[in-house]
């Protein structure tokens, strides 16, 4: 598994798209830091960019990488290697490269501007962690989609739809549901629907840490009111962990049965 991970990682970091991804975060972070000396405001702006771009790149990279590596996977299947070693090694190498892009693209400018001695350091670390968590979650979803559908066009189309659903459509459906049921108590429903969207979970976790209740929206306000700030952070963090573990378990299950 470690040899496959190493190969996958080296292949990813040689890709020009990884350099473009890293370069975009680097330029965006530097530009925002040059426009404002307030690190808190820059962190909020980078949060909005990261929570939209990171899931998109994670799910597209994961889908394309799996389809492009399919012949290599078939070759490895002919060797005395377990399927778990093959899939976990390839996935881990890819996601490490994506997380490294976030760490370098966002982290280096902030470190240069003195984030390590700033009171905003915990928010910065949380932003990096959430970016990596979303990369892990959506690249896992990408592998699941690519393993489920052999047709590349269909797989990519479904991947884009999944990102659109979680990033845009889900919030619209949620808002319409809240408006339609406004005469009923919606607290439990709100919290239940919150845990079904990893992007919303990441956003609320960062805003709760910033203690900016005005920007958390209705779901964040309900979570903070009924669970408390500390308990709410624990609930959101646990939900994100399940978003990693459940797709990982599903990946293992499909990988053991998939006929390549």
pLDDT tens for 194-244 read 788 898 888 888 877 776 544 555 555 555 565 556 776 787 788 889 999
Type and span of the H or E element at 203? helix 198-210
User: Which has more confidence, 141 or 209?
Assistant: 141
In this prediction, residue 217 carries a pLDDT of: 52
In this prediction, residue 186 carries a pLDDT of: 65
With cut-offs at 50, 70 and 90, classify the pLDDT of residue 6. Answer: confident
The span from the CA of 107 to the CA of 126, in Å, is 12
Task: Read off the tokens for 221.
Answer: 């306000």
Give residue-wise pLDDT tens across range 164-187: 999 888 878 877 877 777 666 666
Grouping H, G, I as helix, E, B as strand and the rest as coil, residue 194 is helix
Give residue-wise pLDDT tens across range 72-123: 888 887 777 777 888 888 888 899 999 999 999 999 999 988 888 888 888 8
Type and span of the H or E element at 10? helix 2-13
For the chain, report the end-to-end CA distance as a whole number of angstroms: 19
**Is the full-model pTM beyond 0.85?**
yes
Q: Give the percent of the chain with pLDDT over 70.
A: 87
Average pLDDT over residues 113-134: 89
- Tally of residues, the chain: 260
CB 95 within 8 A of CB 135: yes
The span from the CA of 222 to the CA of 188, in Å, is 9
Average pLDDT over residues 125-138: 92
Angle at 37 between CA 21 and CA 202, to 5 degrees: 50
Task: Read off the tokens for 147.
Answer: 């393993």
Among residues 223, 76, 77, 61, which one has the least CA distance to residue 142? 61
């Amino acid at each position: 598994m470690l040899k496959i991970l190493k190969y996958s990682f080296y292949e990813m970091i040689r890709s020009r798209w990884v350099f473009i991804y890293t370069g975009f975060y680097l330029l965006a972070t530097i530009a925002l830091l040059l426009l404002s000396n307030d690190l808190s405001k820059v962190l909020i702006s980078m949060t909005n960019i990261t929570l939209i771009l990171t899931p998109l790149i994670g799910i597209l990279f994961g889908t394309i990488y799996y389809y492009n590596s399919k012949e290599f996977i078939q070759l490895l299947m002919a060797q005395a290697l377990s399927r778990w070693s093959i899939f976990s090694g390839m996935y881990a190498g890819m996601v490490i490269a994506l997380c490294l892009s976030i760490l370098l693209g966002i982290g280096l400018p902030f470190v240069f501007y003195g984030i390590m001695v700033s009171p905003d350091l915990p928010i910065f670390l949380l932003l990096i962690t959430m970016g990596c968590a979303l990369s892990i979650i959506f690249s896992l979803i990408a592998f699941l989609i690519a393993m489920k559908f052999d047709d590349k066009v269909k797989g990519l189309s479904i991947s884009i739809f999944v990102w659109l659903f979680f990033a845009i459509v889900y919030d619209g459906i949620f808002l319409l549901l809240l408006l339609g049921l406004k005469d009923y108590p919606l607290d439990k429903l709100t919290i239940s629907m919150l845990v079904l969207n990893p992007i919303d979970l990441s956003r609320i976790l960062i805003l709760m840490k910033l203690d900016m209740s005005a920007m958390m929206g209705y779901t964040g306000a309900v979570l903070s009111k009924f669970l408390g700030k500390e308990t709410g952070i624990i609930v959101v963090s646990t939900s994100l962990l399940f978003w990693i573990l459940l797709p990982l378990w599903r990946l293992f299950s499909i990988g053991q049965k998939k006929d390549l």
